[in-house]
Amino acid sequence: MGRAPCCDKANVKKGPWSPEEDAKLKSYIEQHGTGGNWIALPQKIGLKRCGKSCRLRWLNYLRPNIKHGGFSEEEDNIICSLYISIGSRWSIIAAQLPGRTDNDIKNYWNTRLKKKLLGKQRKDHHHNHQGRKGSSKQETKRGTASNSMVPAADINNNYNNNQNPYWPELPVLAPVPYSNQEPFFNDHASIRKLLIKLGGRFSDQDNHHQPLIHDATTNPQFSIHHNPSALTAFSITGTSSTQFAPLHHHYNSTDAVSNLQMLQGESNTYSVELEEMVYTNPTNLDGLEFLYDEANMIDDDRNGGGDHRGTGWGEMGNSQLVYLPSVPSDYEEGVEKQGMPQECLFNELSYQRPAQ
DNA sequence: AAGTACCCCAACCGCCACTCG
DNA sequence: GCGAGTGGCGGTTGGGGTACT
Protein backbone atom coordinates (compact mmCIF):
# COMPACT_ATOMS: atom_id res chain seq x y z
CA MET A 1 0.00 0.00 0.00
CA GLY A 2 1.28 3.36 -0.90
CA ARG A 3 0.80 6.27 1.38
CA ALA A 4 -2.21 8.47 1.09
CA PRO A 5 -1.80 11.42 -1.25
CA CYS A 6 -1.21 14.77 0.36
CA CYS A 7 -4.44 16.10 -1.05
CA ASP A 8 -7.55 14.98 -2.80
CA LYS A 9 -6.26 14.82 -6.30
CA ALA A 10 -9.73 14.70 -7.75
CA ASN A 11 -10.55 18.11 -6.36
CA VAL A 12 -7.40 20.00 -7.05
CA LYS A 13 -6.64 22.00 -10.09
CA LYS A 14 -3.50 21.20 -11.99
CA GLY A 15 -1.56 22.95 -14.64
CA PRO A 16 -0.51 26.53 -15.06
CA TRP A 17 -1.49 29.06 -12.46
CA SER A 18 -3.83 31.84 -13.38
CA PRO A 19 -3.05 35.44 -12.43
CA GLU A 20 -5.98 35.32 -10.03
CA GLU A 21 -4.61 32.30 -8.24
CA ASP A 22 -1.21 33.91 -8.08
CA ALA A 23 -2.68 37.06 -6.63
CA LYS A 24 -4.65 35.18 -4.01
CA LEU A 25 -1.72 33.15 -2.88
CA LYS A 26 0.71 36.01 -2.91
CA SER A 27 -1.45 38.42 -1.01
CA TYR A 28 -2.34 35.84 1.58
CA ILE A 29 1.22 34.82 2.25
CA GLU A 30 2.42 38.39 2.31
CA GLN A 31 -0.18 39.21 4.92
CA HIS A 32 -0.28 36.08 6.98
CA GLY A 33 2.68 33.98 6.05
CA THR A 34 2.27 30.34 5.25
CA GLY A 35 0.98 29.54 8.68
CA GLY A 36 3.44 26.73 8.84
CA ASN A 37 1.13 24.44 6.97
CA TRP A 38 1.11 24.38 3.23
CA ILE A 39 -1.39 21.58 3.04
CA ALA A 40 -4.02 23.57 4.85
CA LEU A 41 -3.24 26.83 3.12
CA PRO A 42 -5.18 26.36 -0.12
CA GLN A 43 -8.38 25.61 1.77
CA LYS A 44 -7.89 28.69 3.87
CA ILE A 45 -7.74 30.93 0.86
CA GLY A 46 -10.14 29.06 -1.34
CA LEU A 47 -7.67 27.78 -3.87
CA LYS A 48 -8.33 24.45 -5.49
CA ARG A 49 -4.70 23.60 -5.44
CA CYS A 50 -2.57 21.06 -3.72
CA GLY A 51 -0.61 22.52 -0.85
CA LYS A 52 2.60 21.35 -2.40
CA SER A 53 1.67 23.10 -5.57
CA CYS A 54 1.11 26.32 -3.63
CA ARG A 55 4.44 25.96 -1.96
CA LEU A 56 6.18 25.40 -5.25
CA ARG A 57 4.43 28.29 -6.87
CA TRP A 58 5.41 30.58 -4.06
CA LEU A 59 8.99 29.44 -3.86
CA ASN A 60 9.65 29.34 -7.56
CA TYR A 61 7.64 32.21 -8.84
CA LEU A 62 5.80 34.46 -6.43
CA ARG A 63 8.41 34.95 -3.78
CA PRO A 64 9.95 38.41 -3.86
CA ASN A 65 13.20 39.07 -5.67
CA ILE A 66 13.04 36.05 -7.87
CA LYS A 67 15.23 36.29 -10.92
CA HIS A 68 14.38 34.39 -14.03
CA GLY A 69 16.73 33.71 -16.88
CA GLY A 70 19.65 35.89 -17.71
CA PHE A 71 22.20 33.83 -15.90
CA SER A 72 25.50 35.59 -15.76
CA GLU A 73 28.84 34.08 -16.54
CA GLU A 74 29.61 34.29 -12.88
CA GLU A 75 26.53 32.35 -12.01
CA ASP A 76 27.39 29.77 -14.63
CA ASN A 77 30.72 29.30 -13.02
CA ILE A 78 29.31 28.94 -9.58
CA ILE A 79 26.77 26.43 -10.72
CA CYS A 80 29.32 24.41 -12.59
CA SER A 81 31.76 24.46 -9.73
CA LEU A 82 29.20 23.42 -7.23
CA TYR A 83 27.76 20.79 -9.48
CA ILE A 84 31.15 19.27 -9.85
CA SER A 85 31.59 19.41 -6.12
CA ILE A 86 28.29 18.28 -4.79
CA GLY A 87 26.30 17.09 -7.72
CA SER A 88 22.69 17.79 -8.33
CA ARG A 89 21.88 19.28 -4.98
CA TRP A 90 20.06 22.13 -6.51
CA SER A 91 18.71 23.60 -3.33
CA ILE A 92 22.20 24.07 -1.97
CA ILE A 93 23.44 25.46 -5.23
CA ALA A 94 20.46 27.77 -5.40
CA ALA A 95 21.18 29.04 -1.95
CA GLN A 96 24.49 30.36 -3.24
CA LEU A 97 22.71 32.37 -5.86
CA PRO A 98 20.26 34.78 -4.33
CA GLY A 99 17.23 35.25 -6.48
CA ARG A 100 17.62 31.89 -8.09
CA THR A 101 15.49 28.91 -7.33
CA ASP A 102 16.55 25.34 -7.34
CA ASN A 103 14.08 24.61 -10.08
CA ASP A 104 15.45 27.39 -12.20
CA ILE A 105 18.99 26.25 -11.75
CA LYS A 106 18.07 22.68 -12.39
CA ASN A 107 16.33 23.65 -15.60
CA TYR A 108 19.16 25.87 -16.61
CA TRP A 109 21.69 23.17 -15.99
CA ASN A 110 19.75 20.47 -17.76
CA THR A 111 18.82 22.50 -20.78
CA ARG A 112 21.74 24.78 -21.36
CA LEU A 113 24.67 24.74 -19.03
CA LYS A 114 25.42 21.09 -19.36
CA LYS A 115 25.35 21.35 -23.10
CA LYS A 116 27.38 24.47 -23.01
CA LEU A 117 29.96 22.84 -20.85
CA LEU A 118 30.12 19.78 -22.98
CA GLY A 119 30.34 21.92 -26.03
CA LYS A 120 33.14 23.88 -24.53
CA GLN A 121 35.16 20.88 -23.61
CA ARG A 122 34.80 19.61 -27.07
CA LYS A 123 35.79 22.99 -28.34
CA ASP A 124 38.89 22.91 -26.21
CA HIS A 125 39.93 19.75 -27.83
CA HIS A 126 38.68 20.28 -31.29
CA HIS A 127 39.18 23.99 -31.54
CA ASN A 128 38.54 25.10 -35.06
CA HIS A 129 36.88 21.81 -35.63
CA GLN A 130 34.46 22.41 -38.40
CA GLY A 131 30.85 21.44 -38.63
CA ARG A 132 30.02 22.55 -35.15
CA LYS A 133 27.12 24.90 -34.82
CA GLY A 134 27.41 27.90 -32.58
CA SER A 135 26.13 27.98 -29.08
CA SER A 136 22.46 28.39 -28.48
CA LYS A 137 20.76 31.65 -29.05
CA GLN A 138 20.14 32.05 -25.38
CA GLU A 139 23.80 31.83 -24.66
CA THR A 140 24.70 34.37 -27.23
CA LYS A 141 21.96 36.65 -26.08
CA ARG A 142 23.09 36.46 -22.53
CA GLY A 143 25.67 38.92 -21.41
CA THR A 144 29.11 37.89 -20.30
CA ALA A 145 29.47 40.13 -17.36
CA SER A 146 32.19 38.27 -15.64
CA ASN A 147 35.00 36.30 -17.05
CA SER A 148 36.45 34.99 -13.91
CA MET A 149 35.68 32.12 -11.72
CA VAL A 150 34.43 33.28 -8.41
CA PRO A 151 36.25 32.15 -5.35
CA ALA A 152 34.14 30.89 -2.54
CA ALA A 153 34.98 33.81 -0.35
CA ASP A 154 33.83 36.13 -3.05
CA ILE A 155 30.62 34.27 -3.37
CA ASN A 156 30.16 34.82 0.26
CA ASN A 157 30.99 38.45 0.15
CA ASN A 158 29.14 39.30 -2.97
CA TYR A 159 25.98 37.44 -2.31
CA ASN A 160 25.55 36.88 1.32
CA ASN A 161 26.05 40.46 2.16
CA ASN A 162 22.96 41.14 0.20
CA GLN A 163 20.64 39.46 2.55
CA ASN A 164 16.96 39.57 2.54
CA PRO A 165 14.53 37.53 4.55
CA TYR A 166 13.76 35.21 1.73
CA TRP A 167 17.28 34.26 0.94
CA PRO A 168 18.98 32.68 3.87
CA GLU A 169 22.66 32.23 3.94
CA LEU A 170 24.19 28.94 3.24
CA PRO A 171 27.49 27.41 3.88
CA VAL A 172 29.72 28.36 1.04
CA LEU A 173 31.01 25.47 -0.84
CA ALA A 174 34.00 25.59 -2.97
CA PRO A 175 36.09 22.97 -4.59
CA VAL A 176 39.69 22.96 -3.70
CA PRO A 177 42.37 20.93 -5.29
CA TYR A 178 42.33 17.26 -4.75
CA SER A 179 44.87 16.11 -2.35
CA ASN A 180 47.27 13.27 -1.94
CA GLN A 181 45.01 10.64 -3.20
CA GLU A 182 45.94 7.34 -4.54
CA PRO A 183 46.15 7.48 -8.24
CA PHE A 184 43.19 6.27 -10.12
CA PHE A 185 43.53 5.44 -13.66
CA ASN A 186 47.17 4.99 -14.24
CA ASP A 187 47.46 8.67 -14.78
CA HIS A 188 45.87 10.51 -11.95
CA ALA A 189 47.21 13.75 -13.25
CA SER A 190 44.43 13.44 -15.75
CA ILE A 191 41.80 13.88 -13.19
CA ARG A 192 43.66 16.69 -11.62
CA LYS A 193 43.71 18.48 -14.89
CA LEU A 194 40.11 17.67 -15.28
CA LEU A 195 39.08 19.06 -11.96
CA ILE A 196 41.16 22.14 -12.36
CA LYS A 197 39.88 22.65 -15.81
CA LEU A 198 36.32 22.06 -14.85
CA GLY A 199 36.87 24.33 -11.95
CA GLY A 200 37.89 26.94 -14.38
CA ARG A 201 35.85 28.97 -16.71
CA PHE A 202 33.00 27.66 -18.68
CA SER A 203 32.40 30.49 -21.00
CA ASP A 204 32.79 30.37 -24.69
CA GLN A 205 35.27 33.15 -24.53
CA ASP A 206 37.88 31.24 -22.75
CA ASN A 207 40.95 33.33 -22.97
CA HIS A 208 42.05 33.23 -19.40
CA HIS A 209 42.17 30.21 -17.30
CA GLN A 210 41.36 30.98 -13.77
CA PRO A 211 40.47 27.93 -11.82
CA LEU A 212 38.43 28.02 -8.69
CA ILE A 213 41.01 26.81 -6.32
CA HIS A 214 41.66 27.79 -2.82
CA ASP A 215 44.52 27.16 -0.62
CA ALA A 216 46.27 28.89 2.14
CA THR A 217 48.76 30.42 -0.21
CA THR A 218 46.31 32.11 -2.49
CA ASN A 219 43.46 32.86 -0.21
CA PRO A 220 44.40 34.19 3.15
CA GLN A 221 40.91 33.65 4.39
CA PHE A 222 41.32 29.96 4.51
CA SER A 223 43.78 27.46 5.57
CA ILE A 224 43.26 23.93 4.57
CA HIS A 225 44.82 21.09 6.34
CA HIS A 226 44.77 17.60 5.23
CA ASN A 227 43.52 15.36 7.90
CA PRO A 228 45.70 12.29 7.83
CA SER A 229 43.27 10.32 9.88
CA ALA A 230 40.82 10.09 7.10
CA LEU A 231 41.73 9.68 3.53
CA THR A 232 38.71 11.53 2.33
CA ALA A 233 38.51 14.12 4.97
CA PHE A 234 39.91 17.53 5.41
CA SER A 235 39.85 19.81 8.29
CA ILE A 236 39.13 23.28 7.20
CA THR A 237 39.81 26.15 9.43
CA GLY A 238 38.33 29.48 8.76
CA THR A 239 40.05 32.54 9.98
CA SER A 240 37.34 35.05 9.38
CA SER A 241 35.85 35.17 12.78
CA THR A 242 32.14 35.22 12.30
CA GLN A 243 31.93 33.81 8.86
CA PHE A 244 34.26 30.93 9.12
CA ALA A 245 34.12 29.15 12.34
CA PRO A 246 36.36 26.15 12.60
CA LEU A 247 34.63 23.24 11.06
CA HIS A 248 35.25 19.91 9.68
CA HIS A 249 33.71 18.69 6.58
CA HIS A 250 33.93 15.21 5.28
CA TYR A 251 33.18 14.53 1.75
CA ASN A 252 33.07 11.18 0.23
CA SER A 253 35.19 11.37 -2.82
CA THR A 254 33.12 8.88 -4.71
CA ASP A 255 30.51 11.58 -4.97
CA ALA A 256 32.85 13.73 -6.94
CA VAL A 257 33.70 10.87 -9.18
CA SER A 258 30.10 10.06 -9.75
CA ASN A 259 29.40 13.68 -10.48
CA LEU A 260 32.06 13.58 -13.07
CA GLN A 261 30.68 10.39 -14.39
CA MET A 262 27.32 12.03 -14.71
CA LEU A 263 28.93 14.79 -16.61
CA GLN A 264 30.62 12.38 -18.86
CA GLY A 265 27.58 11.75 -20.83
CA GLU A 266 23.93 11.25 -20.84
CA SER A 267 23.99 7.73 -22.00
CA ASN A 268 25.58 4.46 -21.23
CA THR A 269 27.27 4.72 -24.55
CA TYR A 270 29.02 7.80 -23.39
CA SER A 271 30.18 6.19 -20.24
CA VAL A 272 31.23 2.98 -21.84
CA GLU A 273 33.10 4.85 -24.48
CA LEU A 274 34.85 6.86 -21.91
CA GLU A 275 35.87 3.85 -19.99
CA GLU A 276 37.17 2.44 -23.17
CA MET A 277 39.21 5.48 -23.85
CA VAL A 278 40.49 5.63 -20.35
CA TYR A 279 41.58 2.10 -20.17
CA THR A 280 42.87 1.66 -23.62
CA ASN A 281 44.85 4.84 -23.76
CA PRO A 282 44.79 6.63 -20.47
CA THR A 283 47.75 8.83 -21.07
CA ASN A 284 46.08 10.55 -23.96
CA LEU A 285 43.03 11.57 -22.09
CA ASP A 286 44.28 14.75 -20.68
CA GLY A 287 41.43 14.54 -18.28
CA LEU A 288 38.74 15.83 -20.49
CA GLU A 289 38.23 13.54 -23.33
CA PHE A 290 35.06 12.11 -22.00
CA LEU A 291 33.47 15.37 -22.76
CA TYR A 292 34.12 15.13 -26.42
CA ASP A 293 31.66 14.89 -29.16
CA GLU A 294 29.33 11.99 -28.81
CA ALA A 295 29.59 11.35 -32.48
CA ASN A 296 33.31 11.09 -32.29
CA MET A 297 33.06 8.69 -29.47
CA ILE A 298 30.64 6.56 -31.33
CA ASP A 299 33.00 6.59 -34.24
CA ASP A 300 35.78 5.58 -31.95
CA ASP A 301 33.67 2.77 -30.73
CA ARG A 302 33.19 1.53 -34.20
CA ASN A 303 36.87 1.60 -34.73
CA GLY A 304 37.44 -0.99 -32.15
CA GLY A 305 37.46 -1.59 -28.49
CA GLY A 306 36.17 -4.30 -26.31
CA ASP A 307 33.68 -4.43 -23.58
CA HIS A 308 34.99 -2.60 -20.58
CA ARG A 309 31.75 -2.20 -18.82
CA GLY A 310 32.99 -4.03 -15.84
CA THR A 311 35.97 -1.86 -15.36
CA GLY A 312 35.88 0.04 -12.23
CA TRP A 313 34.88 3.65 -12.26
CA GLY A 314 33.75 2.83 -8.83
CA GLU A 315 37.24 2.03 -7.87
CA MET A 316 38.54 5.46 -8.39
CA GLY A 317 37.16 6.74 -5.21
CA ASN A 318 40.24 8.55 -4.18
CA SER A 319 39.78 11.79 -5.89
CA GLN A 320 39.10 14.44 -3.38
CA LEU A 321 37.14 17.55 -3.51
CA VAL A 322 36.74 19.65 -0.50
CA TYR A 323 34.30 22.36 0.32
CA LEU A 324 34.80 25.36 2.38
CA PRO A 325 31.86 25.29 4.62
CA SER A 326 31.57 28.56 6.23
CA VAL A 327 28.57 30.22 7.53
CA PRO A 328 26.66 28.86 10.42
CA SER A 329 23.48 30.32 9.19
CA ASP A 330 19.79 30.29 9.19
CA TYR A 331 19.82 28.03 6.27
CA GLU A 332 18.01 24.84 6.99
CA GLU A 333 16.11 26.95 9.29
CA GLY A 334 16.60 26.19 12.87
CA VAL A 335 19.37 23.72 12.43
CA GLU A 336 21.88 25.90 14.08
CA LYS A 337 19.39 27.29 16.49
CA GLN A 338 18.45 23.86 17.59
CA GLY A 339 21.98 23.24 18.49
CA MET A 340 22.98 20.86 15.82
CA PRO A 341 26.74 20.77 15.81
CA GLN A 342 28.27 22.32 12.78
CA GLU A 343 29.94 19.12 11.97
CA CYS A 344 26.56 17.53 11.69
CA LEU A 345 25.33 20.31 9.53
CA PHE A 346 28.18 19.94 7.16
CA ASN A 347 28.16 16.24 7.28
CA GLU A 348 24.78 16.64 5.79
CA LEU A 349 26.49 18.21 2.86
CA SER A 350 28.54 15.14 2.46
CA TYR A 351 25.67 12.80 2.60
CA GLN A 352 25.49 9.83 0.41
CA ARG A 353 22.60 10.19 -1.88
CA PRO A 354 20.42 7.24 -1.27
CA ALA A 355 19.73 5.02 -4.16
CA GLN A 356 16.36 5.90 -5.61
C1' DA B 1 3.52 28.61 -45.67
C1' DA B 2 3.38 24.25 -43.56
C1' DG B 3 5.24 20.56 -41.19
C1' DT B 4 8.64 18.84 -38.13
C1' DA B 5 12.17 18.87 -34.73
C1' DC B 6 14.02 20.86 -30.98
C1' DC B 7 14.30 23.69 -26.85
C1' DC B 8 12.81 25.65 -22.64
C1' DC B 9 10.62 25.76 -18.34
C1' DA B 10 6.59 25.50 -15.21
C1' DA B 11 4.64 22.15 -12.84
C1' DC B 12 3.95 17.51 -11.35
C1' DC B 13 5.42 13.18 -9.19
C1' DG B 14 7.32 10.32 -5.91
C1' DC B 15 10.58 9.57 -2.52
C1' DC B 16 12.94 10.64 1.77
C1' DA B 17 13.55 13.21 6.11
C1' DC B 18 11.70 15.26 9.88
C1' DT B 19 8.31 16.26 13.47
C1' DC B 20 4.85 15.23 16.54
C1' DG B 21 1.40 12.72 19.01
C1' DG C 1 9.43 3.00 19.06
C1' DC C 2 5.90 3.65 15.66
C1' DG C 3 3.06 5.69 12.28
C1' DA C 4 0.79 9.64 10.24
C1' DG C 5 1.32 14.09 8.42
C1' DT C 6 4.03 17.42 6.27
C1' DG C 7 8.03 19.71 4.18
C1' DG C 8 11.60 19.49 1.04
C1' DC C 9 14.05 17.84 -2.73
C1' DG C 10 15.46 15.96 -7.25
C1' DG C 11 13.84 13.74 -11.43
C1' DT C 12 10.69 13.89 -15.04
C1' DT C 13 7.08 15.42 -18.10
C1' DG C 14 4.26 17.93 -21.28
C1' DG C 15 2.88 22.04 -23.53
C1' DG C 16 4.13 26.16 -25.76
C1' DG C 17 7.38 28.59 -28.41
C1' DT C 18 10.99 28.78 -31.78
C1' DA C 19 14.11 27.21 -35.32
C1' DC C 20 14.80 24.52 -39.10
C1' DT C 21 13.68 22.14 -43.46
Question: Would the Cβ of A354 be found within 7 angstroms of any atom in strand B?
Answer: yes
Q: Which nucleotides of B are covered by protein (CB under 7 A)?
A: 7-19
Whether the model pTM is above 0.95? no
Q: Which of A109-118, A136-145, A206-215, A314-323 has the highest mean pLDDT?
A: A109-118
- Tell me the mean pLDDT in the region A36-59: 88
Domain ranges in chain A are 13-62, 73-97+139-254+319-349
Phi-psi region at A133: left, alpha or beta (left = phi > 0; alpha = psi -120 to 50): beta
The CA-based angle A279-A115-A146, given to 5 degrees, is: 115
**How far in angstroms lies nucleotide C5's C1' from the CA of residue A262?**
35
pLDDT given for residue A67 in this prediction: 84
pLDDT given for residue A57 in this prediction: 92
Question: Would the Cβ of A104 be found within 7 angstroms of any atom in strand B?
Answer: yes
> Residue closest to B10, CA→C1'?
A16
pLDDT given for residue A263 in this prediction: 56
- Tell me the mean pLDDT in the region A55-73: 86
Question: Would the Cβ of A55 be found within 7 angstroms of any atom in strand C?
Answer: yes
Question: Would the Cβ of A14 be found within 7 angstroms of any atom in strand B?
Answer: yes
Determine the topology of domain A13-62 in CATH: Arc Repressor Mutant, subunit A (1.10.10)
Exposure letters A119-156 (e unless 16+ CB within 10 A, then b): bbbbbeeeeeeeeeeebeeebeebeeeeeebbbbbbbb
CA distance A274 to A289: 8
On whether the CB atoms of residues A129 and A298 are closer than 8 A, the answer is: no
Helical ranges in chain A per DSSP H: 19-32, 41-45, 51-57, 73-86, 90-95, 102-108, 114-125, 137-141, 152-155, 188-198, 253-264, 268-280, 294-302, 342-349
Helical ranges in A14-135 per DSSP H: 19-32, 41-45, 51-57, 73-86, 90-95, 102-108, 114-125
pLDDT > 50? residue A268: no
- Over residues A108-144, the pLDDT tens digits come to 988 888 777 766 555 554 444 333 333 333 333 333 3
Least confident of A40-54, A60-74, A105-119, A330-344: A330-344
Question: Would the Cβ of A136 be found within 7 angstroms of any atom in strand C?
Answer: no
Identity (one letter) of the amino acid at A93? I
**How far in angstroms lies nucleotide C8's C1' from the CA of residue A127?**
43
- Over residues A7-30, the pLDDT tens digits come to 776 678 888 999 999 998 988 988
Least confident of A10-19, A158-167, A218-227, A346-355: A218-227
Model confidence band, residue A84 (pLDDT cutoffs 50, 70, 90): confident
On whether the CB atoms of residues A86 and A349 are closer than 8 A, the answer is: yes
